[in-house]
Chain A
């Protein structure tokens, strides 16, 4: 009997050790995308620090920046959007999140409301397995997860891949890096944008949104069923719901879906925001990376729109001075610090312009275009300058192809075009004296140093565009771009 008990005990200890090791290995080999995206949620939700969930598709991941919501209003929101998420996956994403904490409000993006496919593993659903793994993997196996998988997926074998993702990821042993191993100590990198992912590309041209003045969808769909379930679940738990449609190049069916979303919200007496109807909210050429996804500038505009809505309609607490929410402030600081770092050194001129727009109110910089440059024909770059506040002077320069300079000092814009004697502009970083003797020869001096002309050197005399970033009395970065049919060669000091 004693021997049997001993064997039993040894077996139990052995199995515990074995499964612990297997679990550790499973953490190391797992694909980290879901962990990276949702880990901050899990940490903050456990502390009950999240007042708003943002659920939906990639439109919300790229379109709403919770860091800005915190920075501007002190609202703590987590972006739980998933790439390719239909309303059904958003519903289950919310349910999984609700197991951790109860927010005060849920913002739900109604994109793909027209989707009428019952199971996500249906090939017509057009959802890749990677996309659902991103939503699901970080949440441990539990009752809600089993219900979610059973509801969303039809095929038994595919269900197993989501319930036990080691089945899929064990083969990653050959891709492991030190970052994968850091997962064991919880020090691997995670998303500090509170689930959002900002895009730094500009589509730039040919996008035109046409309001087709449609009605709603002709009938109920799987999407509408799950939107109703989201609203009903929130109402049952006393959570406010805001049904949204973010701006994108919506086709007829998408516009019908947005209308239906409003109708359903009305039916339940909850808020709705249809940003497709907000004329002028975004520039469809400049604020998008592609037809569906806002870039960081578009996200900034949409987030500001949401901020206005929150300020007017919702009573959400401001946590900015609460020391318990220090993590949020750290993430915000990290976001803006990273942005500052990214302001300079961009090989892509449009990305540079994009960062300049974002940091215009905090930075001092100048953009100089040589006379006769092909850049004047580059409508995207010209639009970026306009977005930063360039006006008639730029229009004149475009017309005459005259040398041009744009100076922005924390949002205060000065611009000159054509040949001219030295003129001085006072900025927070010092006095900038600018003059132009011809298309190529231009002058820019800082303070009393008239020995150093920052706009002319033999090596870079013929570059089309020069960008200068200033710090107290000095140029901290100087970038040159040569334009050839709107592709730019990047040169830097």
Chain B
């Protein structure tokens, strides 16, 4: 069941209506039933894997949590349970990658190939729910939370359907109390959640699924493309991946809110960041903070000197790259972001000095603009490795995309990249809307809240026009094959 489907809309509507009639105390049982049903529809027999993970987390959480007990035994249980979960992830996600790597090495040294060809299906959402389970066990061990005694409640936390396929990667400390006493859903919550879901669909099926056509069209034939078109494609991918993933997150957060559950924010206008470090505080926040809490800090964080801090950063970003995809291009993407951050830290004194020497006002628009522009371009370069299917492709694009040819916007090139003229105009208009809303959010003006403050008729006109627009002009239905979200494949 895809998020972009009538089936899903009917499912969330039914789930929300049933939630309303179930006493708050027992709602988590309904959430669990709905989540398992959803996952079964999404991934069939892999539901068993999900159940297994919940059992491992439940047993391990109880074993490692609490104040009593032998610390070394707890540590052993912690290590072994996390090892089991990581091995599961490794098997499903990285076996093929490992085999490919062995095969490449054998091929490089001209050895006969011994690695078997495996076709392992990646269970939906495994990277997300395993991280939630690992986070829960670690939190129990570190004493941040008490182990959950109610298996069904813990299973609900790991399986909750709005977030299971692509996050946000939640924390038990945020979610378990909400399952104990879910918030009563008010009309204001429903309005806010509905607008959030609508905005998510706008990002996904109005913008991202049009951008993907341009990107795929260029990448499919990149060697024949003009430099300006290659640059345009990288920009389009940068915007596509944002709209795709932020769109998904907004639908997930909105859906949970309709059921009285508050999920953490996952994106805060990341492309308005003034540095790569800030970018990672605004992009996929649930994952960044997960790596911070469960890898970076346990590795020593910034407590063991500058060199160790920089090494820790590189480790975290390499792992982050590998988490995103089982290919070396993803690892390089992660390392590039690590290097950006390391360079940012090492060059900070020099940058500060330059600001002082040239007497630059840090609060001036031009200074902020340049920082945002530079950060955006660095991130844009990084995404080339994320999208490329090989290093050769990434290198070609990075080498050739620096041609200045703004006329491709006006000379008809734009409408030769797989989209019709009306689609291109709609996409550009929608990107302008996205930019305005992001700038408003950046400045603390929440557009949703402002809409909901309007009088009844104005509100209704906005809701209806927006919903009808998204449904009518959205990229969905037969003939389209872009309804799955990029991050659901991680």
Interface size class of A (residues with CB under 8 A): 10 to 19
Contact B463 A18 (CB under 8 A): yes
Output the nearest chain A residue to B479 by Cβ-Cβ distance. Answer: A171
Q: How far is the CA of A160 from the CA of B420 in the complex (A)?
A: 26
Asked if B468 is at the interface of the complex by the 8 Å CB criterion, the answer is yes
Output the nearest chain A residue to B465 by Cβ-Cβ distance. Answer: A21
Q: How far is the CA of A17 from the CA of B460 in the complex (A)?
A: 9
Contact partners of B478 in chain A: CB under 8 A? 157, 161, 167-168
Output the nearest chain A residue to B423 by Cβ-Cβ distance. Answer: A174
Contact A14 B460 (CB under 8 A): yes
Q: Indicate which residue in A17, A29, A164 contacts B472 across the interface (CB closer than 8 Å).
A: A29
Contact partners of A25 in chain B: CB under 8 A? 468, 472
- Name B466-489 residues within 8 Å CB distance of A: 467-468, 471-479
Asked if B464 is at the interface of the complex by the 8 Å CB criterion, the answer is yes
Output the nearest chain A residue to B186 by Cβ-Cβ distance. Answer: A7
Chain B positions 66 through 103: 1 when the CB is less than 8 Å from some CB of chain A, otherwise 0: 00000000000000000000000000000000000000
> Interface SS of chain A: helix, strand, loop or mixed?
helix
Q: How far is the CB of B421 from chain A (nearest CB, A)?
A: 8
Compute the total of residue contacts between A and B using a CB distance below 8 Å: 44
Chain A positions 445 through 477: 1 when the CB is less than 8 Å from some CB of chain B, otherwise 0: 000000000000000000000000000000000
Contact B464 A17 (CB under 8 A): yes
Contact partners of B423 in chain A: CB under 8 A? 174
Contact A170 B468 (CB under 8 A): no
Asked if A205 is at the interface of the complex by the 8 Å CB criterion, the answer is no
Contact B464 A18 (CB under 8 A): yes
Q: How far is the CA of A65 from the CA of B451 in the complex (A)?
A: 57
Contact B472 A173 (CB under 8 A): yes
- Name B446-473 residues within 8 Å CB distance of A: 456, 460, 463-464, 467-468, 471-473
Output the nearest chain B residue to A14 by Cβ-Cβ distance. Answer: B460
With known contacts A173-B473, A174-B420, A21–B464 Cβ distance under 8 A: yes
Q: How far is the CB of B484 from chain A (nearest CB, A)?
A: 15
Q: How far is the CB of B272 from chain A (nearest CB, A)?
A: 31
Q: How far is the CB of A132 from chain B (nearest CB, A)?
A: 14
Q: How far is the CA of A21 from the CA of B472 in the complex (A)?
A: 11
Contact partners of B406 in chain A: CB under 8 A? none
Q: How far is the CA of A231 from the CA of B350 in the complex (A)?
A: 91
Asked if B187 is at the interface of the complex by the 8 Å CB criterion, the answer is yes
Asked if A22 is at the interface of the complex by the 8 Å CB criterion, the answer is yes
Q: How far is the CA of A7 from the CA of B189 in the complex (A)?
A: 13
Max count, chain A CB within 10 A of own CB: residue among B423, B460, B463, B472 = B472
Contact B420 A7 (CB under 8 A): no
- Name A3-47 residues within 8 Å CB distance of B: 7, 10, 14, 17-18, 21-22, 25, 29
Q: How far is the CB of A284 from chain B (nearest CB, A)?
A: 40
Output the nearest chain A residue to B426 by Cβ-Cβ distance. Answer: A174
Q: Indicate which residue in B426, B463, B477 contacts A167 across the interface (CB closer than 8 Å).
A: B477
Output the nearest chain B residue to A18 by Cβ-Cβ distance. Answer: B464
Q: How far is the CA of A171 from the CA of B479 in the complex (A)?
A: 10
Asked if B116 is at the interface of the complex by the 8 Å CB criterion, the answer is no
Contact partners of B479 in chain A: CB under 8 A? 171
Output the nearest chain B residue to A6 by Cβ-Cβ distance. Answer: B187
Contact A168 B468 (CB under 8 A): no
Contact partners of A157 in chain B: CB under 8 A? 478
With known contacts A14-B460, A18-B467, A170–B477 Cβ distance under 8 A: yes
Chain A positions 433 through 455: 1 when the CB is less than 8 Å from some CB of chain B, otherwise 0: 00000000000000000000000
Contact A22 B477 (CB under 8 A): no
Chain A positions 172 through 199: 1 when the CB is less than 8 Å from some CB of chain B, otherwise 0: 0110000000000000000000000000
Contact B471 A22 (CB under 8 A): yes
Output the nearest chain A residue to B456 by Cβ-Cβ distance. Answer: A10
Q: Indicate which residue in B187, B426, B467 contacts A7 across the interface (CB closer than 8 Å).
A: B187
- Name A144-169 residues within 8 Å CB distance of B: 157, 160-161, 164, 167-168
With known contacts A7-B187, A14-B460, A29-B472, A171–B467 Cβ distance under 8 A: no
Output the nearest chain B residue to A164 by Cβ-Cβ distance. Answer: B6
Q: How far is the CA of A416 from the CA of B471 in the complex (A)?
A: 69
Chain B positions 257 through 298: 1 when the CB is less than 8 Å from some CB of chain A, otherwise 0: 000000000000000000000000000000000000000000
Contact partners of A22 in chain B: CB under 8 A? 467-468, 471
- Name A293-351 residues within 8 Å CB distance of B: none
Output the nearest chain B residue to A3 by Cβ-Cβ distance. Answer: B187
Q: How far is the CB of A57 from chain B (nearest CB, A)?
A: 25
Q: How far is the CA of A29 from the CA of B286 in the complex (A)?
A: 41
With known contacts A7-B187, A18-B463, A18-B464, A170–B420 Cβ distance under 8 A: no
Q: How far is the CA of A173 from the CA of B463 in the complex (A)?
A: 19
Q: How far is the CA of A318 from the CA of B6 in the complex (A)?
A: 50
Q: How far is the CA of A167 from the CA of B187 in the complex (A)?
A: 30
Contact partners of B426 in chain A: CB under 8 A? 174
Contact partners of B412 in chain A: CB under 8 A? none
Q: How far is the CA of A337 from the CA of B456 in the complex (A)?
A: 54
Output the nearest chain B residue to A175 by Cβ-Cβ distance. Answer: B422
Contact B477 A168 (CB under 8 A): yes
Output the nearest chain B residue to A176 by Cβ-Cβ distance. Answer: B422
Contact partners of B456 in chain A: CB under 8 A? 10
Max count, chain B CB within 10 A of own CB: residue among A7, A10, A167, A171 = A171
Q: How far is the CB of A173 from chain B (nearest CB, A)?
A: 5
Contact A170 B472 (CB under 8 A): yes
Q: How far is the CA of A18 from the CA of B145 in the complex (A)?
A: 45
- A to B CB contacts below 8 Å, 12 in the list: A7-B187, A10-B456, A14-B460, A17-B460, A18-B463, A22-B468, A157-B478, A170-B473, A170-B476, A171-B479, A174-B422, A174-B426
Lowest 7 A-B CB distances belong to which pairs? A174-B422, A167-B477, A170-B472, A18-B464, A173-B472, A21-B464, A21-B468
Q: Add 16 more A-B contacts to A18-B467, A161-B478 (CB < 8 A).
A: A7-B187, A10-B456, A14-B460, A22-B468, A25-B472, A29-B472, A157-B478, A167-B6, A167-B477, A170-B473, A170-B476, A173-B422, A173-B473, A174-B422, A174-B423, A174-B426
B residues contacting A by CB (< 8 A) are 6, 187, 420, 422-423, 426, 456, 460, 463-464, 467-468, 471-479
A residues contacting B by CB (< 8 A) are 7, 10, 14, 17-18, 21-22, 25, 29, 157, 160-161, 164, 167-168, 170-171, 173-174
